[in-house]
Amino acid sequence: MEHHGYLGLTVGAPTALTGDGGATGTVVGPLPLSVEWLGDRVRLLDQRRLPGELVLVELGTVDEVCRAIAELTVRGAPAIGATGAFGVALAAVRGEDTHDAGRRLKATRPTAVNLAWAVDRALAAADPVAEAVAIAAEDVAANRAIGRHGLGLVPEGAKVLTHCNAGGLATVGYGTAVGVIRAAHEARRRPTVWVDETRPVLQGARLTAWELQALGIPATLVPDVMAASLMQSGDVDLVVVGADRIAANGDVANKIGTYGLAVLARFHGIPFYVAAPRSTFDPATPDGASIEIERRSPDEVTSLAGVRIAPEGMAAENRAFDVTPAALVTAYVSEDGISRP
Ligand code: MRU
């Protein structure tokens, strides 16, 4: 696998990373940044091709950025937020209508509030480029703060279960839920991680597994359907997940399957933590029922890694996110600290 080339880099040292076309990217610790601004282009680490291939793609038009967000070249709420802001920056440097660009960017994925938040912030700024760059930098700082606040929730030697990918790839760098685990690891608390594979598109198996390997954090991949059994056998000490939008009443939209984990955690008396930056908290949405849940193509369910697994003509439903009621959340971890519902 191509990522072995930078596994040994010094943590915290920005270093050149060579992608397919000879492009170089910045690395935060052993992981490349998911999104970067190149002055007149946006560079993304192509998440569809991980873990098999490490490919950096450069986008020069707003349409390309919209397509990259919709097709999950970049995904994860804070990462698509920063990418959306860079899309507005791109429109600005190209002399295009930034508000039209902003509308198109925001329409790509409706659930993560970070996208609309970042696009609107870039649109409102006198200098959209500087604002987008600031949004990206602030995200990395917020994630590191989330890690610092959250590591106290991770007991020595804890067995942690996480879902989807809320790591460096899902953010600009470092990660939210994975950031908490990462900070605990860096503080030598020796956490081990159960990684839900996260059907249908396997962000856990492909992305979280790859990140944790790169970070040297002991992790074991499990099918999503194993969580109940792991909790029943006493093998989960806490659950930590990210979020795409947290409503004013504390309800949390996150990757489909999160709600089921929260119900299971409550039944088994296991703490359930949500790690997310301030930009994921949406005071304008009163409750979970008001959050628009993205519906994605049924093909993601009827196929696995591009191979059809269901019979031709079979109907499939593909809700990308679900809503966990605030009552099931033990605590939220943001850059501001720890708060309870
Ligand atoms: O469909 P995705 O892969 O964009 O969904 C991502 C998630 O659900 C993450 O948990 C969430 O965006 C938080 S990322 C820090």
CATH 1.20.120.420 applies to domain 2-142: yes
Query: Is the peptide bond prior to 200 cis by the omega test (within 30 degrees of 0)?
Result: yes
Between the CA of 110 and the centroid of ligand 1 the distance, in Å, is: 12
Tell which residue, 50, 46, 44, has the closest CA to residue 213: 50
Between the CA of 253 and the centroid of ligand 1 the distance, in Å, is: 9
- Domain 148-339's class? alpha beta
Q: Do 98 and 123 contact (CB within 8 A), yes or no? A: yes
The pLDDT score that the predictor gives to residue 262 is 99
Both tokens assigned to 311: 């019979």
The pLDDT score that the predictor gives to residue 8 is 27
Tell which residue, 339, 338, 51, 249, has the closest CA to residue 167: 51
Q: Do 215 and 179 contact (CB within 8 A), yes or no? A: no
Nearest CA to ligand 1 atom 10: 242
Q: Do 153 and 271 contact (CB within 8 A), yes or no? A: yes
Q: Longest C-alpha distance within the chain, in Å?
A: 59
Q: Do 323 and 289 contact (CB within 8 A), yes or no? A: yes
Q: Where along the chain do its domains lie?
A: 2-142, 148-339
Tell which residue, 183, 174, 257, has the closest CA to residue 211: 174
Residue 17's H or E segment, with its range, is strand 17-18
Helices 98-106 and 62-70: crossing angle, nearest 10°?
Answer: 10
The pLDDT score that the predictor gives to residue 163 is 98
Nearest CA to ligand 1 atom 8: 255
Tallying the residues shown for the chain, one arrives at 341
Both tokens assigned to 56: 């950096």
3-state secondary structure of 224: helix
Ligand 1 shell residues, CB under 6 Å? 75-78, 112, 164, 166, 170-171, 176, 203, 242-244, 254-255, 320
The pLDDT score that the predictor gives to residue 28 is 56
Between the CA of 200 and the centroid of ligand 1 the distance, in Å, is: 13
The C-alpha atoms of residue 74 and residue 143 are separated, in whole angstroms, by 18
| Active-site residue list | 244
Give the up-direction half-sphere exposure of residue 193: CA atoms within 13 A in the CB hemisphere. Answer: 32
Kindly list the distances between the CA atom of residue 144 and the CA atoms of 8, 28, 104, 157, 227, in Å, as whole numbers in the listed order.
Answer: 21, 11, 31, 21, 28
Between the CA of 273 and the centroid of ligand 1 the distance, in Å, is: 15
175 CA closest ligand 1 atom index: 15
pTM for the whole structure: 0.92
pLDDT tens string, the chain, 341 residues long: the values are 223 222 222 223 233 333 333 345 565 566 788 999 999 999 999 999 999 999 999 999 999 999 999 999 999 999 999 999 999 999 999 999 999 999 999 999 999 999 999 999 999 999 999 999 999 999 999 999 999 999 999 999 999 999 999 999 999 999 999 999 999 999 999 999 999 999 999 999 999 999 999 999 999 999 999 999 999 999 999 999 999 999 999 999 999 999 999 999 999 999 999 999 999 999 999 999 999 999 999 999 999 988 999 999 999 999 999 999 999 999 999 999 999 99
Tell which residue, 94, 95, 103, 92, has the closest CA to residue 129: 92
DSSP string, 128-178: HHHHHHHHHHHHHHHHHHHHHHHGGGS-TT-EEEE-S--BTTTSSSSBSHH
